[in-house]
Structures are given as structure tokens and as C-alpha cells.
Amino acid sequence: MSKSNHYRLVSMIVVVVLILASVFLSGCLNDDGGTVGIPEGENPEGDIYEDHVEIFVPIMNTYEEPKQIVMKFEVGTEEGGRHSEMKYITLPEDSVDVYNQIVDIPENETPDFVDTEIIVWYEETKIVEVDGEYSEGNAALNATIANTKFESERVLVEFIVTTEEDIYSEIEELDVAKSSMEIYTEDVGIPPDEDPVSFDAQKI
């Protein structure tokens, strides 16, 4: 093979790899002949009010069956604030529809941009948010778990409290309802002379 043909072959391989990478990173999940995501060239838009922004975004589902996702709608402000809401969405089969969500913002902040992101894809069970409260040697952890499957799912979750001195945890087996996004609570005991510095929960 001549050098020119060799360089031409290498260049073609590089182009193919770049095309595949761009498709993979395009923001849509595409397998088994179907696609879920924001159509190419589309972006979220927002209507601004005194204390909230209503965000609109088109989402497509080219499968011949419904799919479920969780979308995060976010507003960034000129003051550096970031405010968001999560929404559980059922996408009809073979559809492109516009979905909306209201995101509250402080009245003393000015919206700068809006953004959206699919944080739980279809047929997935995922912890999307964790917080906790502490009182007298006991921490109550709240884990928001989304299940975008059309069937219930049994999962093991480790609820974790970190203090400056140590890490404490409890493992709980949970039955997560089908097509749901719910809060699950677990108590984790820690020494009364230690204060929590973070709360976490992980599927195991």
C-alpha cells in the first residue's frame, strides 16, 4: 500500500470514529432501532415571571412502545444561583411532544439561562436525590428513587452518614414501585457527640 493510500485509509477511519462519537454524545439514547431524547437542533426555552420560570422542551420517542424518563429542568441566574425541578415523564410511543415545568426562583435573582437534562433514562432504577436530618444521635436519611420500568424493582440501598470522625451506614432492601419517583427513609444511628457532615445513599 502506498503512503498516500495509507494516509487516506487512516483519515477515513478517523472520520468514521468522529461521526460515531458525535452520534453517541448527541444527548439521545439510541438502541434497538429507537431513540429517546431532545430532537437535534432543538433547545429548551423559558417564559420568565417575577418568581418563577416556566421551561418548555420537546422530547421524542421513536419506539413503538411508551418509554418513561425523569427530566431535570434548571434555571441559572445572573447572581450565580441554580434552581431546578425534576419531572417524571411518560413518553407515548412514536411521539414528539413539548413538555413543561415551572421552576421557582428567588424574587431578588434574575434568570440568565434555562437548561434541561434527562437524569434517569428509560428502564432504569436510580437514586436521584439524598438529604437528611439529625437529632440526638439519630440521622434520618431521605433518598428519592426513580424507577422508569413498567414493573416493580427490588433494590439494596446503603444509607450513609459521614461525620468528621467516622462513617456510619445501614443497608435496606427496598421494593420500588413501578413507574414511580418516591422518597424512601432510613434511620442511621451515630454517637451523640458527633455531628454529620454529609448524607449519601447508594445502590449496591
Question: What are 38-68's pLDDT values in tens digits?
Answer: 999 999 999 999 999 999 999 999 999 999 9
In a domain, 11, yes or no: no
- pLDDT tens digit sequence for 142-174: 999 999 999 999 999 999 999 999 999 999 999
Question: Which residue range is the domain that position 114 belongs to?
Answer: 30-120
How do beta strands 82-91 and 67-77 pair? antiparallel
What is residue 33's predicted lDDT score, i.e. its pLDDT? Answer: 75
Q: Who's near 75: CB < 8 A, 6+ residues apart?
A: 46, 53, 55, 82, 83, 84, 103, 105, 111, 113, 114
The answer to whether residue 86 sits within a structural domain is: yes
The dihedrals phi and psi of 7, each to the nearest 5 degrees, come to -65, -35
Among 120, 142, 171, give the residue marking a domain's end: 120
Q: Which long-range contacts (CB under 8 A, 24 or more apart) does 17-26 make?
A: none
- 138 and 89 in a single domain? The answer is no
CATH code of the domain in which 172 resides: 2.60.40
Enter the pTM of the model.
0.82
The Cα 48–Cα 96 span in angstroms is 24
Q: Which three cell numbers stand for residue 109?
A: 435573582
Please check whether residues 110 and 34 belong to one and the same domain. Answer: yes
User: What band does 32 get if pLDDT is binned at 50, 70 and 90?
Assistant: low
E strands of the chain, at which residues?
Answer: 28-31, 34-37, 45-48, 52-61, 67-77, 82-91, 95-104, 111-120, 125-135, 138-147, 153-163, 167-176, 180-189, 196-203
pLDDT band at 28 (very low <50, low <70, confident <90, very high): low
Q: Which residue has the cell 437514586?
A: 127
CATH number of the domain where residue 102 is located: 2.60.40.10
Closest CA to 107 of 85, 72, 79, 86: 79
What is the rounded distance in angstroms from the CA atom of residue 152 to the CA atom of residue 172?
16
Report yes or no on 21 lying in a domain. no
Same domain, 132 and 116: no
- Residue 80, helix vs strand vs coil: coil
Q: Which whole-number Å values give the CA distances from 157 to 1, 69, 137, 204, in the listed order?
A: 57, 21, 21, 6
Could you tell me the pLDDT band of residue 136, with boundaries at 50, 70 and 90?
confident
User: Domain count of the chain?
Assistant: 2
Secondary structure of residue 13 in the 3-state scheme: helix
